[in-house]
């Protein structure tokens, strides 16, 4: 279970936003795909949403601090494990977000809703297909619903 993976980014995020935990749904960003992969974007404009997989390269996971904690360090939140919340502080710091595709120009995708900072390495891009990606009637903890209310 101690295999190492070598993953090379396929592109990079460019954004003016420095939001960390809030308001990501309204943020517009660009994904600059490496020139060698530009042909792989053919037909992507036919999709309204994409799944972006990226490396949260600036997040440093600390076992003693992040394994179990209160989301956003809020006293009104329960203590939960790292895998039971959507924290950026995870052992492998891999992020995944569904975004709206706004436009495609060459190797640049303009998207809305990407919760990644400027310079974030993009690992993969997949079209969002509800038949595979949407869950019917998901169970969501009450504390998470409260957290999303602000």
pLDDT at 55: 92
pLDDT at 31 (0 to 100) = 98
pLDDT for the residue numbered 22: 59
In contact, 41 and 55? CB cutoff 8 Å: no
Q: pLDDT below 50 — which residues of the chain?
A: none
50-67 residue pLDDT tens: 999 999 877 777 878 888
pLDDT at residue 150 in the model: 64
Burial of 131 (0-12, 13-18, 19+ CB in 10 A): exposed
State the pTM of this model. 0.85
Architecture of domain 11-148: Beta Barrel (2.40)
The alpha-carbon radius of gyration of the chain (Å, integer) is 17
For the chain, domain boundaries: 11-148
DSSP, residue by residue, 94-124: EEEEEEEEEEEETTEEEEE-----TTPEEEE
């Amino acid at each position: 279970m101690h295999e190492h993976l070598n993953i090379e980014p396929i592109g990079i995020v460019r954004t003016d936003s420095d939001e960390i935990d809030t308001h990501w749904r309204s943020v517009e960003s660009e994904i600059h795909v490496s020139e060698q992969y530009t042909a792989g974007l053919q037909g992507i404009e036919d999709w309204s949403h994409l799944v972006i997989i990226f490396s949260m390269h600036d997040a440093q996971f600390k076992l003693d601090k992040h394994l179990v904690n209160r989301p956003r360090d809020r006293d009104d939140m329960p203590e939960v494990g790292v895998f039971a919340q959507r924290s950026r502080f995870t052992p492998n710091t891999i992020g995944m977000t569904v975004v709206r595709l706004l436009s495609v120009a060459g190797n640049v995708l303009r998207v809305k809703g990407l919760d990644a900072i400027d310079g974030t390495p993009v690992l993969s891009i997949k079209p969002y297909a509800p038949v595979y990606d949407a869950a019917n009637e998901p169970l969501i903890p009450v504390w998470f619903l409260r957290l999303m209310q602000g």
